[in-house]
Amino acid sequence: DAKTTQPNSMESNEEEPVHLPCNHSTISGTDYIHWYRQLPSQGPEYVIHGLTSNVNNRMASLAIAEDRKSSTLILHRATLRDAAVYYCILRLKTNTGTASKLTFGTGTRLQVTL
Amino acid sequence: NAGVTQTPKFRILKIGQSMTLQCAQDMNHNYMYWYRQDPGMGLKLIYYSVGAGITDKGEVPNGYNVSRSTTEDFPLRLELAAPSQTSVYFCASSPTSGGANEQFFGPGTRLTVL
């Protein structure tokens, strides 16, 4: 299975943009890049996903490198409520090909300060 | 919609006891998943189901059993609890398979085995 590499932690000031990097050098052509986040004491929450092109939604933007070996999640204006662990995940088929599992690493813990 | 619900929120078991963690979703999703999360780690897939009557093992299935008699419910059974099963358990669902589909997570069950 292709793996992702993320920094263990990052800090940001409130109201400033945050760029969370992810390396996935062994990504295959059919892998989607997903980002989830986990707020303290909660289940993971979907943030955004993409395949080849950059993507925007109401929560964040996803910038994908041309060779797809890395991506960056962009929070345009961090707030205290964005403090969470952010997971970069390649969406893979299971071995049987009948369901698509999420393989979680340890993610990046984002701290947001005033 | 309530989304994905899990009961109980917390439970303490003695070694050798058994219990069932309940999971239900009201989004008519075919795919359901059970994950566990140990302290400071990412989530690991225990079992998943692609529809009523169909289940399959994930990465860490030992010590657990599942059943899927309806689309809505996906209970996880621990037969002989061991301290190594102390963890937070998350249930998730998704509408279809495929890398573009997000998973919706429940709030989790925190289990301690003493």
pLDDT at A1: 61
Distances (CA, A) of B8 to A60, B4, B5, B39: 33, 13, 10, 19
Residues B25, B5: contact at Cβ < 8 Å? Answer: yes
**Per-residue confidence band for A104, with pLDDT thresholds at 50, 70 and 90:** confident
Q: Which parts of chain B sit beneath pLDDT 50?
A: none
Q: How far is it, in rounded angstroms, from Cα B107 to Cα B56?
A: 23
pLDDT at B39: 87
Contact list in A for residue B103 (CB cut-off 8 A) is: 44, 46, 102
pLDDT at A13: 95
Cβ atoms within 10 Å of A94's Cβ, excluding its own: 16
Percent of residues, chain A, with pLDDT higher than 70: 90
pLDDT at A96: 55
| Best mutation target, A88, A91, A102, to test chain B (most B CBs within 10 A) | A102
Which residue reads 């989304």 in tokens? B3
Q: Give me the mean pLDDT over the A12-41 stretch.
A: 93
Which residue reads 């009523």 in tokens? B52
Q: Could A104 and B108 be called an inter-chain contact, meaning their C-beta atoms sit closer than 8 Å?
A: no
| Best mutation target, B54, B105, B110, to test chain A (most A CBs within 10 A) | B105
Cβ atoms within 10 Å of A95's Cβ, excluding its own: 11
Assign B102 to helix, strand or coil.
Answer: coil
pLDDT at B52: 93
User: Touching check for A51 and chain B: CB below 8 Å?
Assistant: yes
Q: What is the pLDDT of residues A50-97, one digit of tens each?
A: 999 999 999 999 999 999 999 999 999 999 999 999 999 988 655 555
Cβ atoms within 10 Å of A29's Cβ, excluding its own: 7
